[in-house]
Chain A
Amino acid sequence: MTEKNIREIINKHLTKIAPEADLGELPENANIREELDIDSYDFLQFLIAINEEIGIEIPEADYGKLSTIEGIIRYLSARMG
């Protein structure tokens, strides 16, 4: 899976949670929970959706690494080999 694919998956699931957001305008290093007003419940749903689609298990201790778009891409790419 390329970085572009991962990004598409991320965007798809973020759009479900924050349909009004313009993800194209969202800086790669912005904290998505703050920028998109995502609460802990929605964030968990987002990670569940990513997990279901890509099949990578994300331990709770790693949530902090998944706070930005670039962080999520880096994290997932590294685990997909």
Chain B
Amino acid sequence: MAEFCMPSLGADMKAATLIEWKVKPGDFIKRGDIIAVVEADKGIIEIEVFEEGVVDKIIVPEGKNVPVGTVLAIISSMKEPSETKEEKIVEGQVIEKKETALKLEPEKVLVQEKPVPPLPEVLEGKKHFKVSPLARKLAEELNIDVSTIQGSGADGIINRADVEKAAKERELKKKIPVTEKAKMPKEVEYQAGMRRAIAAAMSRSNRDIPHYYLETRIDMTRALQWLEAENQKRSIKERLLPAVLLLKAVARALKDVPGLNGYWIDERHQMKDEIHIGFAISLRQGGLVVPAIHNVDKKSIDELMAAMSDLIARTRAGRLRSSEMTDATVTVTSLGDLGVETVYGVIYPPQVALVGFGRISEMPWAENGMLGIRRILSATLAADHRATDGNRGAQFLGSMKRYLQEVSML
């Protein structure tokens, strides 16, 4: 028997609205199945499940907004069939339902090894603020963020009365804007939510992460010539974008310098074997989403182009999956399309590095005593100094540069 809880879809998410259940009690589910759709600040997200079993009970109804960690449904494992399932077998319905469940689009099965990474935001809250157990429980029930409360107890400890006071204040505040909120178009409200989510994650990053920045210039001429020759052979639908080469080079370089791929959680550097690159995708209406492209190191250039196109299209249509929102091990942001020369990024916690790419532009370039015009890209690394040092960062950029000069190595 397992509890299926509202996952955290990023360090900055506190709650989400359950929009739709894709399963019903009695349905058989397996790892990677999408079982629910929720709406968070970042958009509509499909939630995957990481265990196999039978849906026993749906607890949270559609349309309800609940905090991260709330039990949404109960899932019985296959080894301990629930009473519900047995009853259904008697009724002769379960087999039919099993078939429907198994038909759930198989391509959505994930490669992800572990469930959602731990919630740094929650851990942090517990670390920094002294809260009495009763007050913590009450705050959780009332969905109040303890970090916003001023404790009145000894040593500034937050007690029950403080939480109750905060709840009352919140109610009072709510009463005024409710009418205004009603007038606010849904789009604006959604935008405000996304802005708040970005603000929370980035403030935390700037507050907690001692960033160091390194920059290098990469001669992309040969890589782009290879790409152009390749694209000439292809129909327009199969053409590659330079971003694919950049993503691949990042993945290769992370294999060489693994310290930049992973998290800083609980004062500890946790390197990851899987390379899931969070790819910053801007939205037309403003804001950005950074979903992950999974296992970039294991994908061919063509597979990577397909994965990137699929991800951009789904991000802009607001259809992302929960694992894509949570398991990026590093971030890549490319602002070259906008003419930016150099990107100095803000790391997305709990990750430890962000790679930024600017515009590729023609420049006078001296090499081996010769001056020529080459197509040059500025690549930057923003990294967490708690996890790595500049030397490691320099090795990473050096490695990436080598891969981009010799595309056959990608």
Residues of A within 8 A of B (CB): 18-20, 33, 37, 39-41, 44, 47-48, 51, 57-61
Interface centre among B235, B309, B337, B338, by most chain A C-beta atoms within 10 angstroms, is B337
Nearest chain A CB to B152's CB is how many angstroms away? Answer: 49
Asked whether B231 lies within 8 Å of A60 as measured between CB atoms, the reply is yes
**Complex CA distance for A57 and B231, rounded to whole angstroms:** 12
Cβ contacts under 8 Å, B175 to chain A: none
B237 at the interface (CB under 8 A from A): yes
Interface range on chain B: under 10, 10 to 19, 20 to 34, or 35 or more?
A: 10 to 19
**Complex CA distance for A59 and B239, rounded to whole angstroms:** 10
Asked whether B237 lies within 8 Å of A40 as measured between CB atoms, the reply is no
Asked whether B232 lies within 8 Å of A20 as measured between CB atoms, the reply is no
Q: Mark B232-276, 1 if CB is under 8 A from A, else 0.
A: 100111010111000000000000000000000000000000000
Cβ contacts under 8 Å, A61 to chain B: 228, 232
**Complex CA distance for A60 and B235, rounded to whole angstroms:** 10
**Complex CA distance for A65 and B288, rounded to whole angstroms:** 30
Q: Mark B301-330, 1 if CB is under 8 A from A, else 0.
A: 000000011001000000000000000000
- Nearest neighbor of A38 in chain B, beta-carbon distance: B337
Asked whether B236 lies within 8 Å of A58 as measured between CB atoms, the reply is yes
Asked whether A44 lies within 8 Å of B232 as measured between CB atoms, the reply is no
Asked whether B235 lies within 8 Å of A59 as measured between CB atoms, the reply is no
- Nearest neighbor of B238 in chain A, beta-carbon distance: A48
Residues of B within 8 A of A (CB): 228, 231-232, 235-237, 239, 241-243, 282, 284-285, 308-309, 312, 337-338
**Complex CA distance for A18 and B285, rounded to whole angstroms:** 10
**Complex CA distance for A37 and B335, rounded to whole angstroms:** 12
Asked whether B239 lies within 8 Å of A60 as measured between CB atoms, the reply is yes
- Nearest neighbor of B231 in chain A, beta-carbon distance: A60
Known A-B contacts A18-B284, A44-B241; the reply to A60 vs B228 at CB < 8 A is yes
- Nearest neighbor of A41 in chain B, beta-carbon distance: B312
**Complex CA distance for A40 and B235, rounded to whole angstroms:** 17
Cβ contacts under 8 Å, B241 to chain A: 40-41, 44
**Complex CA distance for A58 and B338, rounded to whole angstroms:** 23
Q: List 8 A-B contacts (CB under 8 A).
A: A33-B337, A37-B284, A37-B338, A39-B337, A41-B308, A44-B236, A48-B237, A61-B228
Nearest chain A CB to B312's CB is how many angstroms away? Answer: 5
Cβ contacts under 8 Å, A51 to chain B: 236-237
**Complex CA distance for A61 and B231, rounded to whole angstroms:** 9
Cβ contacts under 8 Å, B309 to chain A: 41
Nearest chain A CB to B336's CB is how many angstroms away? Answer: 8
Known A-B contacts A20-B284, A39-B337; the reply to A44 vs B239 at CB < 8 A is yes
- Nearest neighbor of A18 in chain B, beta-carbon distance: B284
- Nearest neighbor of B234 in chain A, beta-carbon distance: A60
Nearest chain B CB to A31's CB is how many angstroms away? Answer: 11
Asked whether B236 lies within 8 Å of A57 as measured between CB atoms, the reply is yes
A-B pairs, top 5 by smallest CB distance, nearest first, are A39-B337, A60-B231, A51-B236, A41-B312, A40-B337
Asked whether B236 lies within 8 Å of A47 as measured between CB atoms, the reply is yes
Q: Within the complex, which residue of B232, B243, B284, B337 is in contact with A59, where a contact is CB–CB below 8 Å?
A: B232
**Complex CA distance for A19 and B317, rounded to whole angstroms:** 13
**Complex CA distance for A58 and B236, rounded to whole angstroms:** 7
**Complex CA distance for A59 and B229, rounded to whole angstroms:** 11
**Complex CA distance for A33 and B309, rounded to whole angstroms:** 18
**Complex CA distance for A41 and B239, rounded to whole angstroms:** 11
Nearest chain B CB to A10's CB is how many angstroms away? Answer: 16
**Complex CA distance for A31 and B312, rounded to whole angstroms:** 23
